[in-house]
Amino acid sequence: MGLSETHAALRGALGVPSPAREQAREQLLTRLRPMLVLWSGTRMSPRLKSRMEPEDVAQEIMARVLKGLDGFQAAHGDGETRSFHAWLFTVGENCIRDLVAREDAIKRRPPVLLSVSQTSPSQAAYRREQVERMLQALDALEPEDRDVIRLIKLQGLTAGEAAPLLDKTPNAVRIQLCRALKALHLRLAGPAGSTKAGETPPRLPR
């Protein structure tokens, strides 16, 4: 979900309290969920992954976002999308750090019902699998490739913003992003079933 889509969904989610706002919030989180699953998958340490699924972490983040939206609204008025993204990923980071700290105490939570009735039945299964496949492909990348994709494609940072975080020049970040996406494509284009859930897929040569 890009920034522009987020903006439209965010406007509705930050209005005055009303049934429509609640519905818009649910809609916003529903739309954010796949991205948050991917983000969590690329952000979680192997140890945390051995305890929790990215879906669980995304769920936890969404729960916190839902609780914190009023606070965000108070601080940012009607919500500037970049601020929302920055806030969202801060919530995500905090959430992951908390989960790592108390991972032993974490139990899986049942998913919150966030359904969109217009989704077709085949879409649901297909999309679940698509997200799962993407997670596996991201998992198989080199860590720095995963980082650059997460920061730029999922978090929406610019190459300049990501550069100091990755200890690279902005130009090197742009180039690495290209390489990372090529590697991702190679992973996605691999044979069906070449990786299984729960297994660490092999790394491809660079």
Partner 1 sequence: MAPLDPPSTSDEILADALEEYHGRIALGQPTDPASYAARLGSRFEEFLEVLAAEEALDRAMAEPETAPLPRAFGPFTLVREVGHGGVGVVFEAIERHLGRTVAVKILRTGIDTDEDAKERFRREARACAHVRHDHIVTIHGAGEAEGQLYYAMDLVPGESLEELIKAGRVPESRRLAGELAKVADALSEIHAKGVIHRDIKPSNLIVRPDGLMMLTDFGLARVDGGLRVTRTGQLLVTGHYASPEQLLGDQRRIDRRSDIYNFGVMLFHAVTGQLPIPTDDWNVLYRRRLHERPPAPRSIAPEVHPDLDGIILKCLEPEAGDRYQTAAELAAQLRNFAAGRAVDDQGALSPSVRFGRGLKRRWKPLAAAALLLVGAGLGLRAWWTGRDGTLELRYAPQFAALLKSSGLEAPPPATVWINEKQVGALPWRGDLAPGVHRGQVRIEHADFEAYPLEDDPEQPDRGFVVDAGARVVREVLPMPRAGLGGLGGVGRLLEGSHPELVRPPSLTRGLSGGEAPAELLMPRGAVRTQDLAEWMLDINAMAFVPGGRLVLRRGKEELWTAPLELPSPESHLVCGRFPDAVLARIRPGETLTFGWVPPVPPSGTRPEARAFEETVRVLASDPSAELVPQVEQTYAAAHPRLVALLRARALAASGLLSAALQQVRAQVRDPLRDRLALEELVRVLRQVGVYTQLEQDIDDFLRGQGPAPRLCTR
Site for partner 1 in 16-35 (CB under 8 A): 30-31, 33-35
Residue 103 near partner 1 by CB under 8 A: no
Inter-helix orientation angle 54-76/19-43, to 10°: 130
DSSP string computed for 57-81: HHHHHHHHHHHHHHHHHHHHTT--H
Least separation in angstroms between CB 40 and partner 1: 11
Least separation in angstroms between CB 21 and partner 1: 19
State the Cα–Cα distance between residues 90 and 87, nearest whole angstrom. Answer: 5
State the Cα–Cα distance between residues 3 and 9, nearest whole angstrom. Answer: 10
Q: Of these, 49, 177, 197, 198, which contacts partner 1 (CB under 8 A)? A: 177
Cβ nearer to partner 1, comparing 16 with 97: 97
Q: Of these, 102, 121, 197, 198, which contacts partner 1 (CB under 8 A)? A: 121
Q: Of these, 11, 84, 129, 198, which contacts partner 1 (CB under 8 A)? A: 129
Half-sphere exposure of 95 (CA within 13 A, CB side): 25
